[in-house]
A and B are shown apart, each in its own frame.
Chain A
Amino acid sequence: MSGRRSRQSTSSTSSRITDDQIIDLVSKLHQLLPEIRSTRRSNKINIEQASANKVLQETCNYIRNLHKEVDDLSDRLSQLLSSIDADSPEAAIIRSLI
């Protein structure tokens, strides 16, 4: 399969992921994701695809959580900072943190 040879992704020709690439990228995602729940039920399905599926699911959930966190933190900060004013005491705190 041409995809296997052209690992570096200038691949406009190969649109399908090979197993090797999945394993490689899945391991990297593993490191970034906080926790991967182990597959509970026995898989008749291809192991790599099962883990790719699980990792994709965890990834989507994680990204959604991060988006929500950014939103919540923006909410919280908008209430804490009484004004985004350069002279306010809160801005001085922030500057001292840099």
Chain B
Amino acid sequence: MKARMQNSSSSAALLKQEFLKKWINGLQTYTNTKKEMTILDRKNAIKLSADIAIASTRNFSTNWSRAVMADVSKNVDGSSKIVTEKILGRKETCIIKCSKNIMRKSRLLAHRRRAIRRTIGRTSVKAASAIAKELVKKRTRVLKRLVPGGKQMNEICLIKETLDYIASLQVQVDVMRNIANAADHQCLDSTERSLL
């Protein structure tokens, strides 16, 4: 793992380490809470811890990470709160609860912005460029749905958040893939040993 980290840029490597530590912290909450877990339970636990961990690597300075936490805290099952506390600590978890208000405020602002835009008259020009603009608008709408919290952002903010979100997703996928491959090899080794 260390050799691999030296190859990637140091900031990405630090991110990966931070994500991994937080993710494992999150997983450890499940060691004491439930003894019997179905495969689906485990999968959801793994995914939940991973999402909270990757969102927290941004220190909630980005909209998408705040949106992720707002979604997580909507989760009826109390496990999300426990995992969040384990990863972030109790103080930060209270701050996250306030993020719900931030999301609500930004939604109101977005509504107001949209209302203002509609009142300003728009000249409609039927041209190839207009068609292209429609396409861009359409794709932007799709992107807004994909990036957490995207619906409340203006277009410039959306693209900046997208850049950050994609970079974070890449970190998340890389680390999870490395762990899965490592666990794979270990399982293969131990089954080989048991056959001997």
Answer whether A and B are interacting partners. Answer: yes
* Residues of chain B within 8 A of A44, CB atoms compared: 128
Give the CA-CA distance A11 to B42 in the complex, in Å: 43
Q: Tally B residues with Cβ within 8 Å of A.
A: 61
User: Is B87 in the interface zone, CB < 8 Å from A?
Assistant: no
A17 with B155: CB separation less than 8 A: yes
A15 with B140: CB separation less than 8 A: no
Give the CA-CA distance A86 to B160 in the complex, in Å: 39
Chain B's closest residue to A9 (CB) is B156
One digit per residue, 1 when the CB lies within 8 angstroms of any chain B CB and 0 when it does not, for chain A 61-98 equals 01110110111011111111101111001100111011
* Residues of chain B within 8 A of A89, CB atoms compared: 186, 190
Q: Name the interface residues of B45-78: CB closer than 8 Å to any CB of A.
A: 45-47, 50
User: Is B113 in the interface zone, CB < 8 Å from A?
Assistant: yes
Chain B's closest residue to A6 (CB) is B156
Q: Name the interface residues of B168-196: CB closer than 8 Å to any CB of A.
A: 169-170, 172-173, 176-180, 182-184, 186-187, 190
User: Is A2 in the interface zone, CB < 8 Å from B?
Assistant: no
Main secondary structure on B side of the interface with A: helix
Give the CA-CA distance A44 to B30 in the complex, in Å: 57
B163 with A32: CB separation less than 8 A: yes
A70 with B176: CB separation less than 8 A: yes
B156 with A21: CB separation less than 8 A: yes
Q: What is the distance, in angstroms, from B129's C-beta to the closest C-beta of chain A? A: 5
- Which of B88-96, B97-105, B130-138 faces chain A? B130-138
Chain B's closest residue to A85 (CB) is B31
B142 with A84: CB separation less than 8 A: no
A45 with B131: CB separation less than 8 A: yes
A63 with B180: CB separation less than 8 A: no
B31 with A59: CB separation less than 8 A: no
A93 with B186: CB separation less than 8 A: yes
Q: What is the distance, in angstroms, from A70's C-beta to the closest C-beta of chain B? A: 6
B37 with A63: CB separation less than 8 A: no
B170 with A17: CB separation less than 8 A: no
* Residues of chain A within 8 A of B169, CB atoms compared: 63, 66-67, 70
Interfacial residues, chain B to chain A (CB-CB below 8 A): 1, 17, 20-21, 24, 27-28, 30-31, 37, 39-40, 42-47, 50, 109, 113, 117, 128-129, 131-133, 135-136, 139-140, 142-143, 146-147, 154-157, 159-160, 162-163, 165-167, 169-170, 172-173, 176-180, 182-184, 186-187, 190
Interfacial residues, chain A to chain B (CB-CB below 8 A): 9, 11-12, 14-17, 21, 25, 28-29, 32-33, 44-46, 49-50, 52-53, 56-57, 59-60, 62-64, 66-67, 69-71, 73-81, 83-86, 89-90, 93-95, 97-98
Q: Give 13 A-B contacts (CB < 8 Å), ordered by A residue.
A: A9-B154, A9-B160, A32-B163, A45-B132, A49-B136, A53-B132, A60-B139, A63-B162, A74-B44, A78-B45, A81-B183, A89-B186, A97-B179
